[in-house]
Structure 1
Amino acid sequence: MIELLTAPLAYPFMQRGLIAALLVGLVCAVVGVYVVLRGMAFLGDALAHTILPGIAVGYLINGADRGALFWWALGAALVSSFSIGAVSRATRMREDTAIGIVFAAMFALGVALISTVRNSAVDLSHVLFGNILGVSESDLWRIAVFGAVVLAAIALFYKELMVITFDPVLAATLRLPVRFFDFLILTMLAVAIVVAIQTVGVALTLAILVTPPATAAFFTHRMHTMMIAAALLAMLAGVVGLYASYYLSIASGAAIVLTSTLIFALVWAGSHLRRRSG
């Protein structure tokens, strides 16, 4: 058993992948609590796909430089998140309508730009499906720094964000800057998505944001406890999924998401049986 646990760690890429899985799981699970409680899953999925124009432009200008692609992806995610808020307020549309408009436009622009890049299917596949085993030391530093900024912002404005999440009317009564905190949540979500892309890719990012907090919701409805439980579950899924991908020779991002989903299914089944027996 000890050899099964230590053998993969003999490889530097597995060591970096394990650290990345832990960091991404922590950041995305904590931000994901807001996604689950505020019903922002559609927005999270949309933002994950709207980074494609940034990736494509970054590739056209800087080639396959992962550092440059990270910044272009972050810029596209921030532009998309702020555009959704601006369109929703300026036109007085429902937010889901604004999300659909911006999501479709940005995704189509990304597809159009990617189609002009030769060998894009090969060079950009890590964006769509993730490549946690290809994470470099510089990638780890970016994940750590931006993750720390997001967690620090949540710690600093925890009470205000909790009021806005659970009781927007009370937040307005207390004269909290609701618009500022809405944009802050969008910004944190955009950063979490770009950070997660390197591990699970565009296609599976939503699962990392939603599944661990949804699982934690079976245990508690207190926000800080939910954040802690979600983070622990996400990190567990990251470690188990990474080992499963190593020994079963399957895609690491898919293995992490499937592990997280299996944990959710087991917890849900246990909760259902407990309710029936009670």
Structure 2
Amino acid sequence: MMEALALPFQFPFMQNAFLICVIVSVPTALLSCFLVLKGWALMGDAVSHAVLPGIVLAYIFGFPLILGAFAAGMTCAVATGYLSGNSRVKQDTVMGVVFSGMFAVGIVLYASISTSIHLDHVLFGNMLGVERHELITSGVIASVVAGALVMKWKDLLLHAFDPAQAQASGLPVGLLHYGLLAALSLTIVATLSAAGLILAVGLLIAPGAIAFLVAREFRSMLLVSVPVCMLAMLGGTYASFYLDSAPAPTIILILTALFLLAFLRRQWLTRRASRARVAAGGA
């Protein structure tokens, strides 16, 4: 029995898959807390889809793919901010137009060239085929993003709650805003090999949403989101080995199940507190 349970850890490709899970779970979990709190869930979806044309253009011109992905992600984020700030159209509408347009451009560019890169690996990830250089790249990006978020979490928290108060307090609001967008783009680049573009949005939303339902304070929210994301990623990768399924969708299914459990727990606690208040008032 123990040999059967330990079987996935004996294969090098599974070891790399577990390692990439540990690496990307930290920045995605921390960033998801800010995205959920700030109401930027759709922004994560937009940027994750919009990096596709950057990847294709980087391949065409022989640049590193991560540079193209980061440039496209920042272009999407800056364009969304500019258009929403200089028009009557709401931000969510602008994001929908920008990311769908950039995603379409990426699909057209990909279809027009001959490449050895399979589109499924870009869209859905290739966790079982992660190579050493991808581990190093993701590790460096994850360390930079996670370190910046941990050091500046109080400033980012005030900016998320009340940008006007943050500006009155002397904080560099513009730098915080675009710094958070840069962290989002870098994190998506780090998760390309693990979850791909489409499923990366699940890693950028679900951990923060689960922690929001469980924790009472933002500090606790950060502390809860990381182990939740890491355990879901490791558990999904482990389960996919025996289920003969793709790791990334299995991870998202586990995160979805954890969100539903957290939601039901919050509903039960709310009803219990209401009944206790009614009983106390009747007494």
Structure-1-length-normalised TM-score: 0.91
In the alignment, which residue of structure 2 is the partner of 1:269? 264
Q: Does 1:138 align with 2:142?
A: no
- Residue deviations 1:183-240 (CA, integer Å, cap 9, x gap): 0111111111121221111121111111111111122132221111111100000011
CA contact (8 A) 2:46 2:99 kept: yes
Task: Report the residue type matching 2:95 in the other structure.
Answer: I
8 Å Cα contact 2:47/2:73 also seen in 1: yes
The equivalent of 1:19 in structure 2 is 19
What RMSD in Å do the two structures reach over aligned CA positions? Answer: 1.9
2:214–2:262 contact (8 Å) kept in structure 1: no
Q: Tell me the residue number matched to 2:104.
A: 108
Match of 1:126 among 114, 118, 121: 121
Residue 237 of structure 2 corresponds to residue 242 of structure 1 = yes
The correspondence of residues 192-211 of structure 1 with structure 2, limited to 5 A, is 192-211=187-206
Query: Sequence identity of aligned pairs in percent?
Result: 33
The 2-side partners of 1:118 and 1:235 are apart by 37
Match of residue 168, structure 1, among 163, 180, 187: 163
Structure 1 172/92 Cα, relative in aligned 2: closer, same or farther at 3 Å? farther
User: Is the contact made by 2:49 and 2:100 (CA closer than 8 Å) also made in structure 1?
Assistant: no
Number of matched pairs = 273
Q: Report what 1:34 is aligned to.
A: 34
Looking at structure 2, the residues matched to 124 and 58 of structure 1 have their Cα atoms a distance apart, in angstroms, of 15
Partner SS state of residue 115, structure 1: helix
CA distance 1:117–1:261, change in 2 (3 Å): same
Superposition TM-score, scaled by structure 2 size: 0.90
Question: How far apart are the structure 1 equivalents of 2:99 and 2:172?
Answer: 26
Q: How does 1:23-102 map to 2 (within 5 A)?
A: 23-62=23-62, 68-91=64-87, 93-102=89-98
Gap regions ≥5 residues in structure 1: none
State yes or no: 1:224 paired with 2:203.
no
Question: C-alpha separation between the residues in 1 aligned to 2:194 and 2:71?
Answer: 19
| SS at 1:217 equivalent | helix
Say which one has the larger Rg.
Answer: 2
Question: Shift in Å at residue 273 of structure 1?
Answer: 2.8
Select between 189-198 and 225-234 the one with higher mean Cα deviation.
189-198
Name the aligned partner's letter for residue 244 of structure 1.
A
